[in-house]
Structure 1
Amino acid sequence: MVPLKRRKVVPTHSTTENDNNNQPTKFPGIVIFLVERKMGASRRAFLSRLGRNKGFQIAEKYSEAITHVVAENNSGDEVKAWLGSQAGCSSAEEVYLLDISWYTESMAAGTPVDILDRHKLEVSHAHQSPTLPAAATKRYACQRRTPLKHHNIFLTEPLDLLAASADFAEHEGRSVAFLRAAAILKTLPKAVRRMEDLQGLPCLGEHSLRVIKEILEYGSSQEVEATRHSEQFQAMQALTGIFGVGVRTADRWFREGLRSPSDVAKSEQRLNDTQQAGLMHHEDLSQRVSRVEADAIGQIVERAVQEILPGAQITLTGGFRRGKETGHDVDFLITHPEEGKEEGLMPKVVQWLEAQGLLLFQKITMNSYLECKDGPARPSSSMDRFERCFSIFKLHNKTHSQSPSQAPRGTVCPPPHAQAPCDATGGEKEPQPQCSSSGWKAVRVDLVVSPYSQFGFALLGWTGSKLFERELRRWAGREKKMSLSSHALYDLNQRCYLRATTEEEIFSHLGLEYIPPCERNA
C-alpha cells in the first residue's frame, strides 16, 4: 500500500511575524498587506518572506497602519468587499488597492515603484452621490477647505466626544477615526438628513456610520449619551483640564478615587511645578480667552520683544489665527529676519515680563533641533523642539479695552463677528469668556521662537488644527515620500531639504492647493 504524501506545512503566523521582526526595514512609510483570497496561503507566505528580505514591512493582520493592500486575480470591488467583511478593517478609501504586478515590480526593483494607473484596482463608484462637491470626496483633510462654521454640529459634536473618550483610553487609532469622520462632515455644504447623503464620502468607518445613523433616526446615540454621563469620562475631562496634567496622570488619579480638581487639592498627591500652578489658577484657566484678551496679551509680548530685539516679528497663531473668537490659550510665534539674532531671546523676554509682574508661572525649554540629525533621520512628528516658554500670564482687566494689535507677519483670519451664533445647522457656538472679579485673570500663553529659515514651517505647524497638521504629515509621507515637521520638509527620494519661506511655498512643494488658515478647521 502506497503511503499518503505528507501535507506541506505553511509557516505559522508567529513564525512569519518573527521573520518580519528580524529583517531591517528600509521603507518605514510603507506597510503592505497581502490579501490571501485567490492567492492562497502558500504563495502569500512566499511573497511575504520575499518582501521582508527586500526590506519591506509586510503585515500579517490588517490594521490602521496599513498603507498598501495587494491582491491577485481580484477586482477592486471584490477586495473592498472582502476587507469590509474583516473585523477591525478601516475603510478601503484610506489605503492603496493594488494589483500583484505593483508588488512583483517593486520586488524586482528592490524599492517601491511609482504607482501607475495599471497598478490600481478599479473600484465602482456607482452609488456615489452626483451632487456631492468634489472637495468633500478627497481622503485627506489637508485637501479640503474646512470652515469654522458648518452645518453638522449635531453629528460632529458626538463624534468629537467619542474621539475624546478614546483618547482618554489611549486608543489613538479609534480617536483619529472619529476625528476624520467628523472632519469630512464639516466640509459638507448642507446638513445631513439621511444616510443616503453620505454615499461616496471617505473616512466614514462602520462605527461612525452606526452612531450617525442612530442620531438621524432617534435624535441621539445611546453610546454617546452613556459616554457623556459616565463617571470616568467626566472625571477624565475634569482632571486633564488641569494645566500640566496628561491622560496617564489623570487615569492614575481616577483609579485612586480622585474625580475633580478640588479632590486633587484636598489629596496628598505630589505635584510638579506646572501642576501646582495649574491647580492654583484652575478657575481662571478653565474659562475661555477672548480675542480681545489675546490681542491685549499680544501688545504686551510685542513691547517686551521689541525692547530686547528691535525688528523682531510676532505672530498670533493657533485657533485665533484660524478665525476663532475664543480659545483655551494664546500662542505667539516670534522670529527675526536676521538668522541667528533670535538665539537666546526667550530668557530675556521672560525676565522682562517677570520684572513687570506679568507672569504667574513660566517654564522655558531651549532649542534642541539640529537639521543634520533631525530631518531625514527621524520620522515626522507633531512635536517640535523650538526655544519656547509655557507660561501663565497675569492679565489685568484694564488691558481688555485696549485696541487690538496687528500681527506683523502671517495672515490672521478675522473672527466671524457678522455670523449669528450657530446651532445644529450652522456650526459651533463657542462659550463666551467670563471676567474675573479680582482685577486680573490668569491666561495660558505659549511663546515660541523660530529661526527665520524655519518660520514658514513653524507658522504652518502652530496654526493647526491638530487633525489638519496630522493629515499634512500623512499626505507628505504616503503620497509624496517626504518628511514634514514644524522645522523642515525633506524629500526622501531626492534626499534633500525643500526650502520655503511661506506657507504657500510649502503647499506647493507638497502638490496641494493652498488653504488659508480660516479653512483649516478640520
Structure 2
Amino acid sequence: MVPLKRRKVVSSSGAGSTGSTGRDDVTSATRFPQVVLFLLERKMGASRRAFLSQLGGKNGFQVEELFSERVTHVICENNSGEEVRRWLQSQAGSPAHLLDVSWFTESMRAGRPVEILDRHKLQEQQIKEVEVVAFSTPSYACQRRTTLDNHNAVLTDALSLLAENAELSDEDGRGVAFRRAAAVLKSLPEPVTGLTQLRGLPCLGGHTLRVIKDVLENGASSEVEATKQSERFKALKVLTGIFGVGVKTADQWIREGILSLHQLQDSERTLNRAQQAGLQHYEDLNQPVTRAEADAVAAVVEEAVASVLPGARMTLIGGFRRGKLTGHDVDFLITHPEEGREVGLMPKVVSWLDSQGFLLYQKTTRNSYLEAKDGPARPSSNMDRFERCFSVFKLPEEARRRAKEARGAAEETEPCSGPAAVSQVKGEGLKPWRAVRVDLVVSPISQFAFALLGWTGSKLFERELRRWAGHEKAMSLSSHALFDNKQSRYLRASSEEEIFAHLGLEYILPSERNA
C-alpha cells in the first residue's frame, strides 16, 4: 500500500516546512507578538511537543520550531533549571523567561499569556533541589515491603483513579502502568514533596509525573478531577458495581443509553441470575465489608465445613489476610491435610449453607486443573482453575453484632462506594440482615501454599511475582504450581516461605504485600 503524501504547509516566512510556528494556515494570526515561545523537547517528547505547539498556534501564540534570539519564553517539562541552563550555554540568545509547562497550559486555558508567578519560574523551582533527599526502591513490587501505612495517599489515590478509568475503558496496559506507579509511591517511607525526589525510581513515566506534578503544585490533578466528572466514568462505575456485570456489558448498555440503575430497571432488560442478584442487593454489595462482618461469615462457613468434613482447614484470604479493616468481599480457602479428601467437599458445604438459609445466590465451578508433566501448556495467569463458589451471602444482623462484640471494638462501615446506591434500587427495604459477597475456594493440600499465596494478593503484588518468576528466574508461577523451565521440573512447596525461596526472593509477610 502506497502511503498518502502529506500536504506541504507553508510557513509565514514562505519556506516549505512543517510550520515553524506549529500553526496551520486556517488558524488565527499571532495575537501576542511580544511573546515568542520555544518548547524544549528534552523529556517532553516529540509527539507531546508537536501537540502543544499546535495548541499554542491555534490560540494565537507564536511558537518557534528552532531556538533563536527571538525566543522570549522557553517552556520545559520535568527538566531542572541546571539542565536547561547547561543546554542554553550552547545556544544563541538568552530568553527572558525559563518556565515550567504549567505556565503554558494555564495560558492555553485562559486564551492569553497569564501572569508569570514564582511557581512558574524554572529557576525558582530548582533552588531547593540540593536540600531534597531522593528516594530509591527496587523495580518489582514483590521485592518491596508495602504496608497499609501510605505516606502518599493523595498521589496514589489520583493514580489509582486513572488506573480504574483505564481498566473500565478496556485499556489494561495503561491501567497496569498507573497501578505500578502508585505501588512505587505506596512503598516510600516519607511523603513526596517534589519531583526531584523521584529521579531514577522505576515505573514513573511521563504521564504519571505530570499527574504528580499537578497534585504537588495545585493540590489536585485536573485530569483526575475531569475524570471524576465524566458522565461515562460515573456510568461505568455504577453499572460495573452490579455483581455479575463486567466492563464489556456495561459499555454495551451505555452505548444503548443506559447510564443508571433506574434506567436499567426501566429498560426491562433480561438479566442473568448473577445480575439479578447484583441489582437486587446493589446497596449492600457496594457497602464495604468490615472485619467484624468477615469474622461473622467465617464463623458460619467454618461450622459448615466442620459439619460436612471434620478435620478440614479453612483460611481467611484476600485483603483481610493482608490486614485491611474493610473489603468489597470475603474470600476463604479450604483444604484437608490428607490429599484427595477435599474432593466433593464444595457441593456439601454449599448444600449445608443453602439449607440453613445463608445463600441468596451461588454459582459453583468445578476444578479443571491438570498438571502436565512437561510444564504449563500456556503462560500462567491470575485466573486459577480451583473448585470455587461465587456467592451472595445472607448475613443476619445478630451474627454481625456478636462478631463485632467479639472483636472488642466499635467498627463503623464507610460510606457506600457506589454512587447513589440505595435510592436507585427498588425493593430493598429495611431488613435484619445484609448481603455480602463471599467466595469459597477448595484446594488440594499439595497446592495449598500456592493457592494461599495467589489468593492473598494484592492483585499487583501477584502480577509482579509472576513477572519476576518469568523474566528473572525463567519460571512459571500460578496459584497451582511453580515450574522451572530451565530444569523442566516442578518445584514443590508446603509453605509460602518455600515459594519465595525458590524464586530467590526475601519472604514478605502478608501485611507487607499491599502494593
Q: TM-score, normalised to structure 2's length?
A: 0.71
Distance verdict in 2 for CA 1:82–1:511, change over 3 Å:
farther
- Report the counterpart of residue 185 of structure 2 in structure 1: 185
Q: Aligned ranges for residues 69-468 of structure 1 at < 5 Å?
A: 131-132=133-134, 136-372=136-372, 375-403=375-403, 431=415, 437-468=430-461
Task: Quote how far apart the aligned CAs of 1:197 are.
Answer: 1.7
Which residue identity is paired with 2:472? E
Task: Quote how far apart the aligned CAs of 1:398 are.
Answer: 0.2
Q: Aligned ranges for residues 61-76 of structure 1 at < 5 Å?
A: none
Check conservation: 2:133, 2:197, Cα contact below 8 A.
Answer: no
Identical pairs, percent = 62
Check conservation: 1:290, 1:432, Cα contact below 8 A.
Answer: no
Task: Quote how far apart the aligned CAs of 1:215 are.
Answer: 1.1
Task: Quote how far apart the aligned CAs of 1:200 are.
Answer: 2.2
Task: Quote how far apart the aligned CAs of 1:401 are.
Answer: 2.6
Check conservation: 1:317, 1:459, Cα contact below 8 A.
Answer: yes
Which residue identity is paired with 1:495? S
Check conservation: 1:476, 1:484, Cα contact below 8 A.
Answer: yes
Distance verdict in 2 for CA 1:480–1:376, change over 3 Å:
same
Distance verdict in 2 for CA 1:170–1:403, change over 3 Å:
closer
Distance 1:439 1:242 in 2: 22
- Cα RMSD of the aligned pairs, angstroms, is 3.0
- Report the counterpart of residue 487 of structure 1 in structure 2: 480
Check conservation: 1:376, 1:492, Cα contact below 8 A.
Answer: no
Which residue identity is paired with 2:309? L
Which residue identity is paired with 2:459? K
Check conservation: 1:392, 1:444, Cα contact below 8 A.
Answer: yes
Check conservation: 2:374, 2:488, Cα contact below 8 A.
Answer: no
Distance 2:378 2:197 in 1: 42
- Report the counterpart of residue 471 of structure 1 in structure 2: 464
Which residue identity is paired with 1:220? A
Task: Quote how far apart the aligned CAs of 1:437 are.
Answer: 3.7
Give the greater-gyration-radius structure (CA): 2
Task: Quote how far apart the aligned CAs of 1:309 are.
Answer: 0.5
User: Is 1:512 matched up with 2:505?
Assistant: yes
Residues 275-308 of structure 1: per-residue CA shift (max 9 Å, x gap) = 1111111111111111011001101000000111
Distance 1:371 1:329 in 2: 30
Distance 1:214 1:83 in 2: 16
Residues 244-278 of structure 1: per-residue CA shift (max 9 Å, x gap) = 00000000011111112222122132211111111
SS class of match (2:227): helix
Task: Quote how far apart the aligned CAs of 1:338 are.
Answer: 0.2
Higher relative contact order at CA 8 Å, sep ≥6: structure 1 or structure 2? 1
- Report the counterpart of residue 21 of structure 1 in structure 2: none
SS class of match (2:476): strand
Check conservation: 1:456, 1:501, Cα contact below 8 A.
Answer: yes
Query: Which of 484, 487, 492 lines up with 1:499 in the alignment?
Result: 492
Check conservation: 1:326, 1:432, Cα contact below 8 A.
Answer: no
Residues 427-476 of structure 1: per-residue CA shift (max 9 Å, x gap) = xx965899984101111000000000000000011111110010000000
Residues 71-99 of structure 1: per-residue CA shift (max 9 Å, x gap) = xxxxxxxxxx99995769xxxxxxxxxxx
Distance 1:468 1:360 in 2: 32
Task: Quote how far apart the aligned CAs of 1:405 are.
Answer: 12
Unaligned runs of 5+ in 1: 1-11, 14-80, 89-126, 407-413, 422-428
Check conservation: 1:128, 1:199, Cα contact below 8 A.
Answer: no
Check conservation: 2:165, 2:233, Cα contact below 8 A.
Answer: yes
Check conservation: 1:150, 1:186, Cα contact below 8 A.
Answer: yes
Residues 289-348 of structure 1: per-residue CA shift (max 9 Å, x gap) = 110110011010000001110000000011111111111100000000000000111111
Distance 2:130 2:378 in 1: 40
Unaligned runs of 5+ in 2: 4-40, 49-128, 423-427
Distance verdict in 2 for CA 1:359–1:171, change over 3 Å:
same
SS class of match (1:150): coil
Task: Quote how far apart the aligned CAs of 1:403 are.
Answer: 4.3
Residues 224-250 of structure 1: per-residue CA shift (max 9 Å, x gap) = 111110000000011000000000000
Structure 1 segments (4+ residues) deviating >6 Å: 81-84, 127-130, 432-436
Distance verdict in 2 for CA 1:218–1:404, change over 3 Å:
closer
Distance 1:465 1:520 in 2: 6
Distance verdict in 2 for CA 1:432–1:257, change over 3 Å:
closer
Query: Which stretch of the first structure deviates more once superposed, 157-166 or 396-405?
Result: 396-405
Which residue identity is paired with 1:172? D
Task: Quote how far apart the aligned CAs of 1:494 are.
Answer: 0.4
Distance verdict in 2 for CA 1:390–1:131, change over 3 Å:
same
Q: TM-score, normalised to structure 1's length?
A: 0.70
Residues 139-185 of structure 1: per-residue CA shift (max 9 Å, x gap) = 11110011112111110111001001111111111111111111100
SS class of match (2:381): coil
SS class of match (1:226): helix
Distance verdict in 2 for CA 1:262–1:161, change over 3 Å:
same
Distance 2:481 2:199 in 1: 38
SS class of match (1:315): strand
Distance 2:494 2:362 in 1: 30
Check conservation: 1:482, 1:492, Cα contact below 8 A.
Answer: yes
Distance 2:506 2:387 in 1: 31
